[in-house]
Amino acid sequence: MPECKSFAMKPLDTSGTLYTMEETSREAVATAVQRVAGMLQRSDQLDKVEQYRRREARKKASVEARLKAAIQSQLDGVRTGLTQLHSALLDVKDIQSSLADVSKDCQLAAKHCVCICTVPEIVAETRQLIEQAELLQAHRKLMELECSRDDLMYEQYRMDSKNTSDMNLISIYFEDVQGLSDELAKQLWMVLQRSMVTVRRDPTMLVSVVRIIEREEKIDRRMVDRKKQTAFIPPGRPKRWKDKMFEVLEGTVSTRIEGTQAVTRETDKMWLVRLLEITRKYVLDDLIVVKNLMVQCFPPHYNTFNRFFILYHNAVSSRVKELAAEDLEANEIVSLLTWVLNTYKSVEMMGHPELCSECDIHQLEPLLPKDVVDDLLSKYVKTFTSNITGWLRKALETDKKDWQKETEPEADQDGYYQTTLPAIVFQMFEQNLQVAAQIDGDFKEQVLKLCLKQMTSFLVRYREEAVAYKEEHLKNRQLPQCYVQYMIAIINNCQTFKESINSLKRKYSQSSEPTDSDAAIERTLNEVAKEGCQFLLDEVFLDLESHLNELLTRKWLTGSHAVDTICVTVEDYFNDFNKIKKPFNQEMTSEALRRVVVEYIKAVMLKRMTFKNADERKEGAERMIKEADQFKFLFKKLAAGEDTDRLCGAIAAIAEVFKLTDPTLLFLEVTTLVSKYPDIREEHIQALLSVRGDASREMRQMIIGTLSENKLSYTSATQPVFKDIAVPTITMTTMTTMTSMATAKLLK
């Protein structure tokens, strides 16, 4: 400071000196001018003017040089003084800043002294507030403690960052603070874990928790920013309580979903259905609470509802993946997939009207990956195939037991015999198709095709069992007692199977294209029905066998009642056959007529007798015509169809050949017969002429030869009559036998 004062006086001395020098210069110039003027007064002094001028110029230059040097010296002194003044000003400012820091440090020290002295007391108060669930107040106290500790540590770090002993001393003194922070955090997490209950009972508690976490987030950010500048960060920072909050909420949601299983398969067969329903109810109720209550407890930027929506979705996804990995039964696989693929996004759950306004369910990832769904479907199909094979086998075994009953089978509302087999089979199919339809349209089609494929295999076994049933009956025709009635039921079942299959396809298939199994099913059902009708007709003709054997014999000619018995027996059987459904009853009646006519004509072709004279031929022919009318009347009554006249007419046409009295007209009559029934063969005509008994060999050869030359072509448009009738040929053994019988008769 003394240097500053002496320097301040120099500007006064300098200005005086400059003033004196300026006055001196002026006086010198004036004197020189006077001297020159005096010198110029005489003419002899004019020659010295140039000399005076140069001398005065040198003096002037000398004076100006001294003046410039003096001025430069004064300027240098001023510059030095200004520099020293600026330096002094900076020193003053540094002193002022230091004094301010000292003042601040004094205030901080005073404050820390107070805080340090009250740390134990504040710790106790904070712990008590935590225990009393006064979380906001507890957090304020905790922030005071942490602020004191952090500021002390920061000052210590700033003064001497390598002094770890003092830093440790501070940490030890404030060691209870971290414990209080952990205790408070524990309380916060407990509130969050019970958030669904808390938000209903005491939403302010949840709000307090969120406020505390938000405060800590701000402190975290401030500490992290300071670390970037100073490299110092307090212990325990950043706390990241916000991240921890979301972890706790996620764990809470997961625990809630996992805790929905109240029963197991061992205690309840419907365990999975109950579990899924409880899960559905919990998720829906919780999300509605989130939307209506919890959203208000969190800041808007948390996007609370969508966050919880995703948390619940992820928790449910994890749970159903665990369930899918278990060894599920077929019905359980269906229950799970139905819930996952349909119920989950329906209005009953995530698509509920109260939720869909807040989020887009179509943006959700699938609960189960496609490969897991495909594996479950594949497992279901495999299990279903195995199960349905067993079910069908068991159903058929049960039906077979019914076939042995001594009581008639039940009749439907139209009076047709039936068993419960079609109803049982298609009830199984219907149930599984209903379940498959709940999963997926394509899967429903797949299950339908599988059912039809299984049906194909089942019907093959059904046919085999029907054949075995007939063969077992033939061993003892008295058993089973209701064989005919149950065989009728087997036939009717074929029509019921057809109708049921068509019904299933209309109901569960979107495609009108025939499946690979359709043709096989149709073919097998027709075969079963046709064979069943054949078995029943075999039963009829077994009873008619002895009466059919009387036809065209001497006993028949003399007055047998074989045809009367045949008609009565057929009509009696057809009283039961009326219980056969269309179209099988119509086909069976037509077949019965055809077989009766064929058996009758076959009796003619067997040449059991030969007419001896015209009277016998007339009597036999009239009897044949009468019996043909009997058959026609019977089968028209049974509605055998439009071929009745034609088939019965074959018997009458043969009778006309026998009835003819003029052998010369025999060719014309035979020609008429052949024109009506072009499937008749030469051996048939030979047999007829042989039975007639009066046709010579030449006449036979002429008739056969003429007919051979003018042979009519046979078309399949009309039902054949003679096609399946064989004419026995006379072998050597037969001739020997006949000769022996004739010899024995003569000997008698």
Tokens of 156: 């210590």
**SS in 3 state form for 466-535?**
HHHHHHHHHHCCCCCCCHHHHHHHHHHHHHHHHHHHHHHHHHHCCCCCCCCCHHHHHHHHHHHHHHHHHH
**pTM, rounded to two decimals:** 0.69
Tokens of 205: 């508690």
DSSP code string of 626-663 = HHHHHHHHHHHHTT--TTHHHHHHHHHHHHHHHH---G
- Nearest residue to 272 (alpha-carbon basis) of 327, 346, 313: 327
Cα–Cα distance measured from residue 268 to residue 70, given in angstroms and rounded to the nearest whole number? 119
Residue 701 is predicted with a pLDDT of 87
Helix axes 421-439, 441-475, angle to 10 degrees: 170
Residue 156 is predicted with a pLDDT of 80
Cβ-contact 659, 622 below 8 angstroms: yes
Residue tagged 């005489």 (tokens): 42
Cα–Cα distance measured from residue 43 to residue 39, given in angstroms and rounded to the nearest whole number? 9
Residue 120 is predicted with a pLDDT of 85
Residue tagged 């210069």 (tokens): 25
Cα–Cα distance measured from residue 460 to residue 464, given in angstroms and rounded to the nearest whole number? 6
- Residue burial 440-455, b: 16+ Cβ < 10 Å; e: rest: beebbbebbebbbbbb
pLDDT (tens digit, 9 = 90+) per residue, 289-311?
999 999 999 999 999 999 999 99
Cα–Cα distance measured from residue 383 to residue 286, given in angstroms and rounded to the nearest whole number? 37
- Give the burial class of 54: count Cβ atoms within 10 A of its Cβ; 0-12 exposed, 13-18 middle, 19 or more buried: exposed
- Nearest residue to 649 (alpha-carbon basis) of 573, 718, 699, 745: 718
pLDDT (tens digit, 9 = 90+) per residue, 323-351?
999 999 888 998 999 999 999 999 999 99
Cβ-contact 271, 264 below 8 angstroms: yes
Residue 39 is predicted with a pLDDT of 57
Tell me the residue type at 456: T
Residue 165 is predicted with a pLDDT of 76
Cα–Cα distance measured from residue 174 to residue 120, given in angstroms and rounded to the nearest whole number? 9
pLDDT (tens digit, 9 = 90+) per residue, 577-631?
999 998 999 999 999 999 999 999 999 999 999 999 999 999 999 999 999 999 9
Q: CA dihedral in degrees (87, 93, 94, 97; nearest 10)?
A: -170
Q: How many Cβ atoms are within 10 Å of 52's Cβ, its own excluded?
A: 15
Residue 231 is predicted with a pLDDT of 84
Cis peptide before 422 (omega within 30 of 0): no
Which residues make Cβ contacts (< 8 Å) with residue 735, sequence separation at least 6? Answer: none
Q: What is the mean pLDDT of each run of 10 residues along the chain (748 residues)?
A: 40 48 58 60 63 81 85 86 88 84 64 67 91 92 88 82 77 86 94 93 94 94 90 89 95 89 82 93 94 93 93 95 92 92 92 87 90 93 91 96 94 94 94 88 91 95 96 94 95 95 91 85 95 96 96 93 96 93 91 95 94 94 96 91 90 94 88 91 93 88 83 64 84 40 38
Tokens of 126: 């904070």
Cβ-contact 270, 336 below 8 angstroms: no
Cβ-contact 99, 121 below 8 angstroms: no
Cβ-contact 279, 257 below 8 angstroms: yes
- Nearest residue to 219 (alpha-carbon basis) of 139, 328, 310: 139
Handedness of CA 642, 647, 650, 655 (dihedral sign): negative
Residue 619 is predicted with a pLDDT of 95
Cα–Cα distance measured from residue 570 to residue 597, given in angstroms and rounded to the nearest whole number? 13
Coil, strand or helix at 457:
helix
Tell me the residue type at 130: I
Cα–Cα distance measured from residue 588 to residue 580, given in angstroms and rounded to the nearest whole number? 9
Of the chain, the end-to-end C-alpha distance in Å amounts to 187
Tokens of 301: 């930027």
Cα–Cα distance measured from residue 293 to residue 321, given in angstroms and rounded to the nearest whole number? 31
